[in-house]
Homo-oligomer: A and B are copies of this chain.
């Protein structure tokens, strides 16, 4: 509801270079419509690692992207553990050894297979929703004509 700073499109308001923009935990929370508690929890689970300014957490562009990816993964039904596997390996990639990289490729293939099945599931469920929808409308029409 309170869409202050769009999480994906440039703000347009204050033409900040975006790369160097910083965020407080509350800002991020409002952007993505989650609570600060959720963001702290993700940090505790090893998904985020913001800088500190004294005691306060400071989030940069990288952190925001990571949060975005995390939430997207969640919407697709991945667990935080699964998401962490990918994003942390992604960050450790440049100096990752071969075994780690192969493991990463395995995980990726796995996720992809998962996505493909979801696509099929969506297709099927769409058809069924259409079906139920049609029937419901017909019954409604029937009700309209009688009585």
Contacts and interface: CB of A to CB of B under 8 A. Distances in A.
Given A93-B136, A96-B139, A118-B118, A73 B108 contact: no
Nearest to A128: B69
A75 to B, nearest CB: 5
B108 A76 contact: no
B119 A132 contact: no
A18 interface: no
A17 interface: no
B77 A121 contact: no
Interface stretch (A25-33, A38-46, A56-64, A109-117): A109-117
Interface in A97-147: 97-98, 101-102, 104-105, 108, 111-112, 115, 117-119, 121-122, 124-126, 128-129, 132-133, 135-137, 139-140, 143
A144 to B, nearest CB: 8
Interface residues of A, number: 39
A77 to B, nearest CB: 4
B125 A104 contact: no
B115 A125 contact: yes
A72 B93 CA distance: 35
